Structure 1
Amino acid sequence: EAAIEVVEMVLSGTINKEIVSTINAAGGTAVGLSGKDGRLLEARRLTVPGSDGDLGFVGEPAEVNIGVLKSFEESNIIPVVAPIGAGPNGETLNINADTAAGAIASAMSAAKLIMLTDVAGVLDDSGELISSLNVAQTGDLLDGGAVKGGMIPKLKTCLQALQDQTDAAHILDGRIPHSLLLEIFTAHGTGTMIVPDD
């Protein structure tokens, strides 16, 4: 229980406030909050299929209450949400940040889900960037074991968002200056774009 308190302090405090400060310094208007604030992210404990192991205070979004986000949207304020949710009994649950972002994008009917990471995007077996994928191709990569580690939840989240009517999902290297602008405003982009099947 002490560990989740530290996680909450770091994600909702230190990291969240650094991101908010960076956005505000760049001329935006950002506000930091936790998924527990305003019951934004109601969560359930995460279980691993076929296992009775207790993952501790790890959760997944059960419901996204978008009212608080709509208020920020109407005021042109950028909400920076720490991936912490409230469990069924009010307990704090740590949620994978990609999963939380995807759930929020789906609930808000976002046109795009954009994930920043520390790799170029989705890579093929030879380590080359795959600039565009559709749902079927993404499923094949997941089923074939071609992607590993942290890219797995990112791709699963992208697929879920597309299923929930998000138009496109992007996985970009956040270390590249202006990667978001380059992805959106250049012909080939900088990362991987995932779109629905034709």
Structure 2
Amino acid sequence: MSVSHPLLSRRSAKAGPTLPLLATAPELHLAQARVHEACGLARRTLALWLAAQTQGPVMWIAPSWTQEQLHCDGVTAWIDPARLIFIHPRRPDDVLWTMEEILRSGAVALAVADLPGLPGLTQVRRMHLAAETGAAEGQYAPLGLLLTPGAGGAAGVETRWHLSPAHTKGPETWRLERLRARTAPQQGWEVHRSKTTQALQIKSA
């Protein structure tokens, strides 16, 4: 009689809690207690879409020297600006350290780090572990979202998403791409905002 070791079992691991990226597309979900990446010109818009699926405050970390800051009038299209708590570290190393500590606390459902460059694999792994600790000991199973410049490419992230404006097809239209995911293929979608309901509508592209 053979005994299957739990580490070698062929059965799939139990899926943890997830957060939908869009209310109208629950199949597009991100695992909580993990760290994900968003890149592209509209990456901050994607972060606000995700924030709209959460409750409570959202921690938004960005270097103090960056020239690109959220504008409250633009934020109101997606969430109440009062939900945002901005943190502006003065040293590069403190941006990721702050993200790690917020995830470890489990005090918020979503923490966003607006990064000037790509983090290292060890740093991403530390954030994953911090998020797992936060889920076990804090109020929320926190989701960490790294906003990276260009085409992104942070090593070790759970998923990578790219969002870019496609306003030639409509005043509020975007091209969404899933570039990397552990359990799903690469895929692209067109997202537009309904003029009548103001809801985001999505279709495969």
| Structure with more strand by fraction | 2
| Structure with more helix by fraction | 1
Which one has more relative contact order, counting CA pairs under 8 Å at least 6 apart?
A: 2
Fold shared, TM-score > 0.5 on shorter chain: no
Q: Could you tell me the TM-score, scaled by structure 1's length?
A: 0.32
